Amino acid sequence: MACEDRRILSITVTGDLAGITVRDLMKQKLGFSARLMSRVKYRAGGILLNGKPARAAALLAPGDELRLDITDPDSGKCVWVRPEPFLPPEILYEDEDLLILQKPSGLVCHPSFGHYADTLANAAAVYLGYENRAREIHMIGRLDRDTSGLVVIAKNSGAADSLFKQQEEKAFRKVYLAGAIGRFGGDIVIDRPIGRIPGVLMLRQACPEGKPAKTRCRALAVSGNEVLTACTLEQGRTHQIRVHLASEGHPLAGDLLYGPGGAREAFLATGDPGVVRIMNEAGSGGELHLCAYMAVLRQPFTGKILRVTARYPRWAETFGPEKPVRRKVEEILTDGNPAGR
């Protein structure tokens, strides 16, 4: 691996860090997983204290210069190949640790059956220089194939550990824009467990035996028989926004799975899971009105607050200009409380 390909975290020890060990700093202050700590400890030159190799048990003193090599090894689950044709990903934000991309509707996030190279992860891997390498891609929350919007990728395990912890602490939050069919106003909170529909792998339903799921929705604007809705998730179950709003009688426009005449209705009528697969592969002919629109998070190591916004979806333009919508979504993220608790 080339020298310039390495991620070295440099830390100047100040008073609040003095007296603790390197191990405690990695675990308690940086939130490193046990796997990453082990990788750093046993890597040649993984821990340098004032320019010299050090052990994880070393005590830190004010003014010490600590360098941690947190570079990921080439040991991922798959070797990344270049999509053909290759379209460079649209970058919304990038620094040493983060890459935030715009995912178009219709693009799969990660390799799966029938999609081995034509994925957002493959495009990101080629952009990052991982082509024909087994480097891990840390995608922090995937989007459904038909959902558009921002996708956050951590460039190393340390950044990934931080972002997963931020998710648990609700410091990393997203707001989705959804176009829901039918009229409603104000705020609604949908608190219904979500589980699989027996007999078909792809579909989900709101059901008592499912896993806890809560979605908070705020109506922003109306166009015809569709409401532009800002949604935030407490858990992030598969198809959560789509299932929850459909359970309220407000399926998303363009939803080939849960919308009127969609795959869910076809499966319940026929009991044939093949119908779902065929309808999903055929597509709806339109765009799902769902977009991961805005996120707020902390830079994993500097602590800087980042607010990143995806491209305003074309389908949302019928509700009016972006500026007032963006302002309302920013208010939701600032409050951290989109529909009351």
Q: What is the pLDDT of residues 222-249, one digit of tens each?
A: 999 999 999 999 988 999 999 999 999 9
How high is the pLDDT of residue 297? 97
Contacts (Cβ under 8 Å, ≥6 apart) of 26: 32, 36, 37, 40, 56, 68
Q: Catalytic residue among 64, 97, 144, 146, which?
A: 144
Interval 180-193: pLDDT, tens: 999 888 999 999 99
Task: Give the residue ranges of the chain where pLDDT is below 70.
Answer: 1-4, 284-285, 336-341
How high is the pLDDT of residue 285? 62
Evaluate whether 73-169 and 173-341 have a shared fold: yes
How high is the pLDDT of residue 76? 74
Q: Which CATH class is domain 173-341?
A: alpha beta
Three-state SS letters, the chain: CCHHHCCEEEEECCCCCCCCEHHHHHHHHCCCCHHHHHHHHHCCCCEEECCEECCCCCECCCCCEEEEECCCCCCCCCCCCCCCCCCCCEEEEECCCEEEEEECCCCECCCECCECCCEHHHHHHHHCCCCCCCCCCEECCCCCCCCEEEEEEECCHHHHHHHHHHHHCCCCEEEEEEEEECCCCCEEEEECCEEECCCCCCCEEECCCCECCEEEEEEEEEECCEEEEEEEECCCCCCHHHHHHHHCCCCECCCCCCCCCCHHHHHHHHCCHHHHHHHHHHCCCCCCCEEEEEEEEECCCCCCEEEEECCCCHHHHHHCCHHHHHHHHHHHHHHCCCCCC
CATH architecture under which domain 3-69 falls: Roll (3.10)
Q: Would you kindly state where each structural domain of the chain is located, as residue ranges?
A: 3-69, 73-169, 173-341
How high is the pLDDT of residue 75? 82
On whether the pTM is more than 0.85, the answer is yes
Superfamily of domain 73-169: Pseudouridine synthase (3.30.2350.10)
How high is the pLDDT of residue 15? 84
How high is the pLDDT of residue 337? 45
How high is the pLDDT of residue 277? 85
Q: Taking Cα atoms as reference points, which of 201, 228, 340, 198 lies closest to residue 291?
A: 228
Residue 144: active-site member: yes
